[in-house]
Structure 1
């Protein structure tokens, strides 16, 4: 189970204030960025739920990120994403520090992605800007095909157990979607024909970085990401294009325009194998997209399935989503409004 950090008071005494965090971050950056004195540190806005983070400015003008955690983090997903997307993903490594390690703190040093988060930019409700960002995001995601890997093994090791947990749950909210889960389980073996695709586990406005020209400068927070059957990576599409208003998902008037523009741009830049798959077997891709939506709504956390307050309303809508290659030119993206 992930250890959440709600405030500085949740940190050990050695890191129980921003001043202490900044001092340790600057010290560690000075040690591990050899030959580069540090000029100061600032916190990100907002801080994450599972860490305390400092952005350290080096004398050469570059920034590095020092992150303090109360449990070890698997950096393998970062390494996979960085190998595919290069500098659009932070390079990361764990660093050792006797004092902090003794107090149960794990320290990670990362490259800093330039720009602001889409959330910080505060521009995600403007249709023209949303369309531009989503098209650039489509170009980034089009690079995420994984040429090697065993899709069948991923389904048996990761996807099927997750779906089984949903089917066994007695939570009243989860039970509402048992029929859809059963249908997806019935069709699960068909997805073994799909290639693997790098799938970000939490693609939202706070994890998409934009430069001054509103181009995607990077994607952060890859900790729980994985290689999954193609299609599942689009589970976050509805949440990015629509809006969460007062805890309820809303289909915005511009949704169809922005969503079609995203897919057109994605298919324009995707490898031929992916483009042919979308054109010739769209229902297979649709099944994977729907599966991704369901699994992303109910996350495994230890021995529990967890979900947020938006899920009950939003999922009823999201599960009716049909990709343009399935629904055609004139049908709306959702069959329930």
Structure 2
């Protein structure tokens, strides 16, 4: 870092930013810096399977750290179809060499779902199915980071009727730590932040869906700046009415914020420039399992809509509906009281 012109002040500022990003206490900054300073650049193997490259495109737009800083100063990116110069046999030799030299220590990043029907024949590379490549590469990995909703839960590939039998990484790999970073695509800083966090402190605290709680511990609804309008029963009825122009809640237009866990409302996108709800569109719930099969994106969240996803989600949706009804009732009472007062 000294050779690259990065001073101690800049380094500590970066560590303070990362610990704040992950909701760690201020006193953790020094410990985080110590661990990160001691960590050598780990080998990272990035395996793309049934995907669209959108997650990698998102990663290239990370601001903290930037992609070039990540791959030149923090990690050693030894295999990635899109970014590496090698192709064909040379690319596969680079992967095998990285695995051999860093056995038991490299990080495996998986992007895209894994097709399982016809013994995995829907996805083949170098005469090996994606299933075989995943199992082979996962065997020597220290941990696996599944980036994107496809790698985490199957994503669009697993949408009904799931013709390829697409599944997420954790459905196949049971003997290695799996960290899910879902989204379509995920927030770039969440991807880089998860990697840096793993380097400094190992596998982070994960929720029931194997997502880092630091980034997926709250719903979009919890941190949304439109929440105050929801609590007051003020909802936009269309995307161009007066309520929409005044920033009212988008719940009745199908916003999935109440049942979606992600950091969009706090970290935002494009270096903090904004996020979908701030741009006037409801959250579509892209970091949740099965979001492609949750009905139309413009239907209000209801318990019935989420029945197939289990009682907890159904209960949450029911609670949201009750909260919305309570907000409307409160608004009606206030209006009545004002009328009686006049």
Whether the TM-score (by the shorter chain) exceeds 0.5 is no
Structure whose residues are more often strand by fraction: 1
Tell me which interval the TM-score lies in, with the shorter structure as reference length.
under 0.3
TM superposition score normalised by structure 2: 0.26
